A and B are shown apart, each in its own frame.
Chain A
Amino acid sequence: MMREFWYHFRNGLLGENPVLKLMIGLCSVLAVSVRVENCLGMGAAVIFVLTCSSLVISLIRNFVPNEVRIPIFIVVISTFTTIVDLVMKAYLPPLSKAMGIFIPLIVVNCIIMARAEAFASRKPPLLAVADALGMGVGYTLVITAIGVVRELFGYGEILSHPVFPKAYQGMMAMILPPGAFLLIGIYIALLNWSLRKVKS
Chain B
Amino acid sequence: MRKILRVALALTVVCVVAALSLSVVYVVTKEKIAEEARKELKEALGVVFPEAETFVPLDPGTFGTLPESKEIQVLEAYEAQSGGERRGVVLKVASTGYGGPIVLLVGVDTEEGKITGLKVLEHQETPGLGSNVAEEGFLSQFLGKSLESPFRVGEDIQAVSGATISSRAVARACAKVAEIVRGEKR
Q: Which residues of A contact B (CB under 8 A)?
A: 31, 34, 60, 63-65, 67-68, 71-72, 75-76, 78-79, 82-83, 86-87, 89-91, 93, 100-101, 154, 172, 175-176
Contacts and interface: CB of A to CB of B under 8 A. Distances in A.
B14 interface: yes
Interface residues of B, number: 23
A176 B6 CA distance: 49
B14 A60 contact: yes
Given A90-B36, A101-B124, A75 B18 contact: yes
Contacts of B162: 172
Contacts, number: 61
Contact of B18 (A67, A76, A172): A76
B59 to A, nearest CB: 28
Given A75-B15, A83-B22, A101-B124, A67 B36 contact: no
Given A71-B11, A93-B36, A93-B40, A34 B18 contact: no
B41 interface: no
Interface string B153-165: 0000000001000
Given A64-B10, A65-B6, 18 more contacts: A65-B3, A65-B10, A67-B7, A68-B7, A68-B11, A71-B11, A75-B11, A82-B22, A83-B25, A86-B25, A86-B33, A87-B25, A90-B36, A93-B40, A154-B128, A175-B127, A175-B129, A176-B128
Contacts of B11: 68, 71-72, 75
9 contacts: A68-B11, A71-B11, A83-B25, A86-B25, A90-B29, A90-B32, A93-B40, A176-B128, A176-B129
